[in-house]
Amino acid sequence: MSASAAMQRYAAEIYRLQQDHEQVPLSLLSSHVESSAQAIASMVKRLQKHGYLVHEPYRGVRLTPTGEKIAMPSLRRHRLTEVFLVRVMKYDWATAHQLADTFELGVNDMIEDRMDELAGRPTRCPHGEPIPSKNGVMPVVRDMSLSNVPSGSDCVISRVRTHDFEKLTYIGELGLVPGTSFHLLSCAPFKGPLRLNMKPHDHVIGYELAASLWVEVTKEGEGNKLPPRKSN
């Protein structure tokens, strides 16, 4: 039996969530797919039965290699749809993810190929997430959360890893979009604010927002240096 469209969509959501969670709790999955606990439990059983995931009670689920494979078509379609909505239909990137959830349900293979062509054969979605190839290969992205980057580093924003509408709107207003370069001037200790030197002017952002920005470090800085301890 081949995976149904519904199974592929669930697998795609689990794939997204497991990038930040070793095991994806069913409560977290439920909140992201907006389904009842009963519907989630039923789908998890179906996916597990066909070897697409492993479910550990009280911990959560994780896709098997086969499960990751069936997630690729849905991930590709969703991210292509986001690009199409932004580049062709001129929606903002904060709205695109929400619209794509509904829009993609009416997209077949022929429409997907046409959207890919009209959007310019994109390799990343508007938020910087890689788009799987037509044959299901996910490109490797080598980046890290800005919250883990030492001060003094030169960075390029690779991905914006949040689907929160208000966060995306604010990040967009600051110009912190994929492809933007900046110099990390300072990081206050104990999860304090970060100061970014970029054109046309500097920005100061909080640690929580920085955790959503994933960057490629082009030149690593030395980090904050603690003052020497005074001897008694």
Cβ atoms of residues 47 and 53 within 8 Å: yes
**Does 1 have pLDDT greater than 60?**
no
Residue ranges, comma separated, of all CATH 2.30.30.90 domains in the chain are: 144-219
pLDDT tens track for 97-155: 889 988 988 899 999 999 999 999 999 999 999 999 999 999 999 999 999 999 999 99
Q: Residue 229: which residues within 8 A CB-CB, separation 6 or more? A: none
**pLDDT, position 226:** 47
Q: Can you tell me the distance from the alpha carbon of 197 to that of 201, in angstroms, rounded to the nearest whole number?
A: 7
CATH of 5-68, one of 1.10.10.10, 3.40.50.2000, 3.40.190.10, 3.30.2320.80: 1.10.10.10
Domain with CATH 1.10.10.10 in the chain: 5-68
DSSP labels, 83-97: HHHHHTS---HHHHH
The overall pTM is greater than 0.85: yes
Indicate the angle between helix axes 5-17 and 37-49, nearest 10 degrees. Answer: 100
Residue type at 117 in one-letter notation? E
CATH architecture entry for 144-219 = Roll (2.30)
